[in-house]
Structure 1
Amino acid sequence: MLAEPPASLRSVCTPWVPRPRTEHAPAPRRPYFRRLLPLLAALACLTRVPSFRWPLWSPDEGYLAVQARMLADGGALYETVVDRKPPLVPWLYEGAFALCGDASLLPLKVLAVAAQLTTAVLLALVARRRWGDGAGRTAGVLYLLISVGLNPEDAQAAAFEVFMLPCTAAALWCADRRRWALAGAAVACAFLAKQTGGATLVPVAWLLWRAGAGRRDVLRLGVGLCGPVLAAAAVTDPAGFLFWTVTGSGAYASFTGSELHVLTRGLTNAAILAAACAGIIPPVVRVLRIARTGSAELWIWLASSAGAVLAGFHFFGHYYLQLTPSLALLGAAALQILPRERTLAAVSVTAGACALFLAWGMLAPRPELAHAERIADEVRARTAPRDRVLLWGIHPETYWLADRDPASRYLTAGLLTNYSGGRNGPQVGEKYAVQGAWPVFRAELAAAPPALIVDDSRGKPFAPERVPSLRRVLAAGYAPVATVEGAVIYSRVYSRSASG
């Protein structure tokens, strides 16, 4: 005769089933959220305090700020304003600058706090529906605590992933309630924030299948998914949208080049996030392997998010933010069947780790930002406000800091050489640039030569001596006039015939 399961696990040995709808009036929820929302709001503000410490945190923020200025000046996305990203976050920056001015990223930092709070609330709603009030609080709190568990440059930037995560959480929330059209729209918005947000479609499709949905529900999901994406393509440039967001990044996504460096980065960032989740991982591993809590789609969400982190073989730290919502829900799923003291211990450990990451964010120096600011000061001193300049490097934020317009639509040397994140192997050079970029780039420089060219390669594989086309441009019309911490500034040389 089989032994009866322990009493502490009897209630979790059956799969989760959605609560049946009844005709009775729903129980009032306002007191619960009156207590929870202030807590989550305070925690969201606290965990984002380091983001206000510096003018900006990452080159992605700088790239977005420069794009927003170019769009405000009449630029066209995927034509004269280009990047390998979808349009939602550039539009968000453009709108914030239109309302609040473009001299500060403060509005975007505030929006990032709101995005993190929204994600936490949606996760709390999912957990509360499944496992009760306590699990809802746990999920929301855990998410905000682990959301800063990376290098501050990755966790505190108001960039693509932060604005993608509310959409991914909304997709699961909608699918959990069988609102398939809204779930599809949320997945589409996640994709339009960053392509890897589309990975959320996998757990949504699982929930659709498990719900026994018919053709009409599949159609609703498909329409919700395709509608926003097709609309975004239509209002930009459809061919350009397809190229820049999907088909034009083959060389960038290749694994060839600096494999050891890239793998080391990936393992390091995974270890950092694991340290931030030290309070969550033990109960998840111990409990969820033996107790069925209706969390299959959460594991699927985590797995699909891990696949998104692997995509492109770059393993930047901010990629790992996509793992945090599913990790928070898995932690809540495990802790809700353990004694209360285990939940308190897990949250306490996670809070302690969060405090260390916040201290890191507040105290760590930013040498690359200081370098960009010094170059920006030099550029500003040597040019007039309407002059265009070319910054040959991987720090587009210098354009924004200097308040000068770029001479090209290609804001980093990476787009013209395939250099990215330390990749210095055989696939760096002109022939690995974005398809068709160099003819356009040469035409831009010939039509309106920049007043200054700043070579900020500092010995990296995209230095002018390894890029013949740029080397010829410098030799034909520019002379070095200054050096700033290894960056060489070239000024345009005017011939007598041209000046006369």
Structure 2
Amino acid sequence: MLAVPLVPTRSVTTRTAFWGRLLPVLAALACLTRIPSFVRPLWNPDEGYLAVQARLLAEGGRLYETVVDRKPPLLPWLYEAVFAVCGQGSLAPLRALAVLAQLLTAVLLASLARRRWGDRAGRTAGVLYLLVSVGLNPEDAQAATFEVFILPCTAAAVWCADRGRWGAAGAAVAAAFLTKQTGGAVLLPVVWLLHRQGAARAGAGRLAAGFAVPVLGAALATDPAGFLFWTVTGSAAYASFTGSEFHALVRATANTAILAGAATGLLMPIARARRIARGGSADLWLWLASSAVAVCLGFHFFGHYYLQLTAPLALLATEALQILPAQRCVSAVLTSACCCTLFLTWGLLAPRPELLHVQRIASALEQRTAPSDRVLVWGIHPETYWLADRMPATRYLTAGLLTNYSGGRDGTQVGEKYAVAGTWPVFRREMGAHRPALVVDDSRGKPYAPGRVPGLRRLLAAGYEEVGTVDGAVLYARVPGE
């Protein structure tokens, strides 16, 4: 007679009860903390860039050939897929996916904490993460852009490595990298876990294969040479610290202070516990350190870069609270909830003058051009194309790719000679092949103004005339007969 294995019903029941109670709480909290993301059509230029890329891809564009950016392909593909299903007129479906991304991240962190320290730790980690996840300028924390979608991938990588699932861990690292290059920083704690578990010989091959197969697949699905250039080798000038030292340091200080304020409820127990005990999870500290390095890469220190710090901070705080009195946990949650409320209020009430500026320009483009016309917006707001429902005359959606300008960089390394290699010959060919019906100079005194960019100045002189201004931007229309 065959023996029938006993099912550990108590374990299954306990697990079901734990998640049955926690999941609704985390889902409600994820929705609550993302409410501000739905109150504006756009939060930052990255959202606009992705929306325009998605439209170009839907029209037959080819990524890293006729549709270009310095980013990997997963998020442009996601935007394209969502637009195909839900239409191109709103980013609300992407914002809903961002809610799901944050919820998935919280669930993975709760599962990690529960496995290591018990049920209470699982609940604490999930809640603390969602409370701190909006602790930046709302245009950084509420936008449906790269870092928000990196987070579940990085959490999944550590979750899989913690359980010795090395192929899946490698695939999760690849997903993070293919969302944004800095997502690959999570490989460091994953490799540490591989070493700590003594699985280097058996697991290294699976980890490497899990990472390599998706990355090679993405390269082959696009243009391999273009993929390598635009995601790895073609951004040396952009990543330089020279020419923006003061602005970069000011931005780094400001964004570090903002996140530190938002994470007060997490940082206090971490500091307190470190004075009591010198132990701790080395993989979590490596995760935090590698994320900090990712924030620093490129020397721009934009606020959304700091989102990568929130997941390891939530777990480190949860670990610290295990050796502190119980009231410390209540204090950490209440402090984080108060900070979260302040940031949600900021997101709901703070004015967005740059969005109003872009909307005025988009309205002018709609009035002065036909839907079939191509236009050129010389600036750093690619969302103008999307809001105006007009196709760009060039694959280079911002002046930054043609001048190396980015927010905060001063004029010492801005100009044609600092552009991404090979862009100006392509730009000139595109301007000759389909001349824009309207050119918008939205430089407004910035270092990439036409007076400092001979290539654009020649374009305007060869058949365009000034026809008006909109909120500081100058409009140029083609001279009849030219």
With structure 1 as the length reference, what TM-score do the two structures score?
A: 0.94
The AA in structure 2 aligned to 1:443 is R
Once the 2 structures are TM-superposed, how far is the Cα of residue 352 of structure 1 from its aligned partner?
Answer: 0.2
Aligned to 2:213: 227
Once the 2 structures are TM-superposed, how far is the Cα of residue 285 of structure 1 from its aligned partner?
Answer: 1.1
Once the 2 structures are TM-superposed, how far is the Cα of residue 292 of structure 1 from its aligned partner?
Answer: 5.6
Contact between 1:55 and 1:104, CA under 8 Å: does it hold in 2?
A: yes
- Is the counterpart of residue 46 in structure 1 residue 7 in structure 2? no
d(CA) in 2 for partners of 1:324, 1:467: 40
Aligned to 1:359: 345
- The correspondence for 1:324, drawn from 310, 320, 325, is 310
SS at match of 2:475: strand
Residues 233-382 of structure 1 correspond to what in structure 2 (within 5 A)?
Answer: 233-291=219-277, 294-382=280-368
d(CA) in 2 for partners of 1:280, 1:83: 36
d(CA) in 1 for partners of 2:403, 2:375: 19
Of 27-36 and 281-290, deviating more is 281-290
Identity within the alignment, %: 71
Aligned to 1:490: 476
Once the 2 structures are TM-superposed, how far is the Cα of residue 338 of structure 1 from its aligned partner?
Answer: 1.6
Of 286-295 and 210-219, deviating more is 286-295
d(CA) in 2 for partners of 1:44, 1:446: 49
Aligned to 2:453: 467
d(CA) in 2 for partners of 1:146, 1:38: 19
Aligned to 1:449: 435
Residues 213-224 of structure 1 correspond to what in structure 2 (within 5 A)?
Answer: 213-224=199-210
- Is the counterpart of residue 67 in structure 1 residue 15 in structure 2? no
Q: Would you say how many aligned residue pairs link Structure 1 and Structure 2?
A: 475
Deviations 1:144-180 (A, max 9, x none): 0001000000000000000110000000000000000
- Is the counterpart of residue 151 in structure 1 residue 137 in structure 2? yes
Aligned to 1:476: 462
d(CA) in 2 for partners of 1:289, 1:219: 39
The AA in structure 1 aligned to 2:263 is C
Aligned to 2:404: 418
Deviations 1:453-493 (A, max 9, x none): 00000000000000001000001110011101110010011
- Is the counterpart of residue 397 in structure 1 residue 376 in structure 2? no
- Is the counterpart of residue 458 in structure 1 residue 440 in structure 2? no
d(CA) in 2 for partners of 1:208, 1:215: 9
d(CA) in 1 for partners of 2:39, 2:92: 11
Contact between 1:256 and 1:425, CA under 8 Å: does it hold in 2?
A: no
d(CA) in 1 for partners of 2:8, 2:59: 56
Aligned to 1:79: 65
d(CA) in 1 for partners of 2:225, 2:187: 24
- Is the counterpart of residue 97 in structure 1 residue 83 in structure 2? yes
Once the 2 structures are TM-superposed, how far is the Cα of residue 426 of structure 1 from its aligned partner?
Answer: 1.3
- Is the counterpart of residue 199 in structure 1 residue 185 in structure 2? yes
Contact between 1:396 and 1:411, CA under 8 Å: does it hold in 2?
A: yes
Deviations 1:103-155 (A, max 9, x none): 00010000000000000000000000000000001100010000100000000
Aligned to 2:3: none
Of 68-77 and 286-295, deviating more is 286-295
d(CA) in 1 for partners of 2:261, 2:251: 15
Contact between 1:80 and 1:409, CA under 8 Å: does it hold in 2?
A: yes
Once the 2 structures are TM-superposed, how far is the Cα of residue 238 of structure 1 from its aligned partner?
Answer: 0.2
Contact between 1:134 and 1:336, CA under 8 Å: does it hold in 2?
A: no
Of 426-435 and 214-223, deviating more is 214-223
The AA in structure 2 aligned to 1:268 is A
Once the 2 structures are TM-superposed, how far is the Cα of residue 421 of structure 1 from its aligned partner?
Answer: 1.1
The AA in structure 2 aligned to 1:45 is C
Aligned to 1:180: 166
SS at match of 1:426: helix
- The correspondence for 2:148, drawn from 162, 186, 193, is 162
d(CA) in 1 for partners of 2:274, 2:114: 18
Once the 2 structures are TM-superposed, how far is the Cα of residue 494 of structure 1 from its aligned partner?
Answer: 2.5
Contact between 1:293 and 1:333, CA under 8 Å: does it hold in 2?
A: no
- Is the counterpart of residue 88 in structure 1 residue 74 in structure 2? yes
With structure 2 as the length reference, what TM-score do the two structures score?
A: 0.97
d(CA) in 1 for partners of 2:138, 2:425: 38
d(CA) in 1 for partners of 2:318, 2:392: 48
SS at match of 1:279: helix
The AA in structure 2 aligned to 1:31 is A
Deviations 1:378-398 (A, max 9, x none): 000000001000000000000
d(CA) in 1 for partners of 2:320, 2:128: 12
d(CA) in 2 for partners of 1:258, 1:314: 8
d(CA) in 2 for partners of 1:115, 1:469: 42
- The correspondence for 2:105, drawn from 98, 119, 126, is 119
SS at match of 2:462: helix
The AA in structure 2 aligned to 1:399 is Y
Once the 2 structures are TM-superposed, how far is the Cα of residue 280 of structure 1 from its aligned partner?
Answer: 1.1
Once the 2 structures are TM-superposed, how far is the Cα of residue 258 of structure 1 from its aligned partner?
Answer: 2.3
d(CA) in 2 for partners of 1:24, 1:326: 32
d(CA) in 1 for partners of 2:175, 2:36: 27
The AA in structure 2 aligned to 1:384 is A
- The correspondence for 2:123, drawn from 137, 141, 146, is 137
d(CA) in 1 for partners of 2:189, 2:456: 47
Once the 2 structures are TM-superposed, how far is the Cα of residue 293 of structure 1 from its aligned partner?
Answer: 5.6
Once the 2 structures are TM-superposed, how far is the Cα of residue 23 of structure 1 from its aligned partner?
Answer: 9.1
Contact between 1:183 and 1:221, CA under 8 Å: does it hold in 2?
A: yes
d(CA) in 2 for partners of 1:232, 1:289: 46
Of 410-419 and 26-35, deviating more is 26-35
Aligned to 1:7: none
The AA in structure 2 aligned to 1:285 is A
SS at match of 1:32: helix
The AA in structure 2 aligned to 1:210 is R
The AA in structure 2 aligned to 1:177 is R
CA RMSD of aligned residues (A): 1.2
d(CA) in 2 for partners of 1:88, 1:404: 24
d(CA) in 1 for partners of 2:256, 2:119: 31
d(CA) in 1 for partners of 2:182, 2:363: 36
- Is the counterpart of residue 210 in structure 1 residue 210 in structure 2? no
Once the 2 structures are TM-superposed, how far is the Cα of residue 289 of structure 1 from its aligned partner?
Answer: 4.6
- Is the counterpart of residue 33 in structure 1 residue 19 in structure 2? yes
The AA in structure 1 aligned to 2:450 is P
Deviations 1:282-314 (A, max 9, x none): 110111354366411100100000000000000
SS at match of 2:83: helix
Aligned to 2:425: 439
